[in-house]
Amino acid sequence: MISEHLVKRANSPDNRKASSEDFYFSLRGTVYKEMKSENGSHNLKTNILNDRIGSRDLTMAIIFLSQMTVGILGNFALLRHYVFHYHMKGRLRCTELILMHLIIANSLVMLSKGVPKTLAAFEVKDIFNEFGCKLLFYVQRVGRGMSIGSTCLLSVFQTIVISPMNSCWKDLKVKAPKYIGLSISLFWIIYLIVNLIIPMYVLSVSGKPGSQNITKNRDYGYCSTSDHDTLSESLYVILIVFPEISLTGLMIWASSSMVFILHRHKQQVEYIHRANHFPRSSVESRATQSTLAMVSTFVSFYFLSSIFHVCIAFKDNPSWLLMNTNKLVSECFPTVSPFLIMRRDSTVSRLCFPGIKNIFPSRKL
């Protein structure tokens, strides 16, 4: 705005006598100075806001980088241990075989989601084209599905192992170890095929003339892709979401069964614990407690991630905090699970990280 002294100056006798051209240039110069001052103030506020946003994004990028580094190191160290163990002994126990495939699935998730997410947080964006973006999502979904399937298989197998001989699981106690390898192979085949159905359907529909299946684009930072019609979303719910919920429910049931069996076992052997000066739980009990800790961690993070996904789906413009919290929570289980596995057996942690002693209490299962 033009200040009041400009108006007084314009109405003064001196300015009336001055030529109109001199007064015009004088007035324009004063207005320019005031506009420059106002623009400077506005630019200063904008710069302060941009600095705040930049520091906020940098903080989140450092958190993502730390999470990705810890997760990748833990998963690859543990995978190296299992591969070396298999090479030396020629076989793995059933639980070790399940855990090895869980680690492979977690590694796929960390590489296909954690690495691009961290690069996008550091402003390295749009590094993948449409095909690369869809390939990343395919690997993410396969890894996520195998993570759920392996955790569910581990909990069910542990329930069968600790069940008493007079229970309904007595026949499976002998047969179950023989079918672990087959079950893992079936999980891989199912998730590899099922996660191909939706992209193939979208490709076939979008290739038809006059197709208007694309509704809007979604920008994930490292790449962008298109949302499609409600039929593909229905396929996703039927083929992906429903099996995930079913497997999670089976995990919860198996965990509840383990808690019940452990409680009954504790009551039956309580007199033995009282007779010893240093009571120790059995190997099976400790293995079951470790499995319960892993399943509880998985279910907790899966539940939180599902809540955030629903909130984001029903919001047109999700907040910065909601989006980044969802990204952080979705990577928590692949990051934490290797260290939960190491806690099962302290020798694993010493072999994975030979330079660090006594990371966890001495516990061998």
Phi, psi of 169 (to 5 degrees): -90, 5
Q: Cα–Cα distance between 237 and 197 in angstroms, integer?
A: 12
Q: At what angle do helices 130-162 and 170-206 cross, to 10 degrees?
A: 170
Name residue 359's beta-bridge partners: none
What CATH code would you report for 4-11+20-352? 1.20.1070.10
Of 110, 103, 132, nearest in space to 342 by CA: 103
Residue 46 CA, chain-centre distance (Å), reads 33
Mean local confidence (pLDDT), 187-202 = 85
pLDDT of residue 174: 81
Name residue 225's beta-bridge partners: 218
Token reading at 343: 């806690």
Helix, strand or coil for residue 219? strand
| Domain locations in the chain as residue ranges | 4-11+20-352
Total H helices, total E strands in the chain: 14, 2
pLDDT per residue as tens digits for the range 333-353: 999 998 888 876 655 655 565
Examine the pLDDT at 197 and tell me if it is beyond 70.
yes
Examine the pLDDT at 15 and tell me if it is beyond 70.
no
Residue 235 CA, chain-centre distance (Å), reads 22
Residues 6+ apart with CB under 8 A from 224: 126, 130, 133, 217, 218
Token reading at 82: 């299992």
Q: What percent of the chain has pLDDT over 90?
A: 20
Q: How confident is the model at residue 144 (pLDDT cuts 50, 70, 90)?
A: very high
pLDDT of residue 71: 92
Helix, strand or coil for residue 63? helix
Q: Where are the alpha helices (DSSP H) in 163-241?
A: 170-206, 230-236
Of 92, 139, 197, nearest in space to 334 by CA: 139
Residue pair 75/338 in contact (Cβ under 8 Å)? The answer is yes
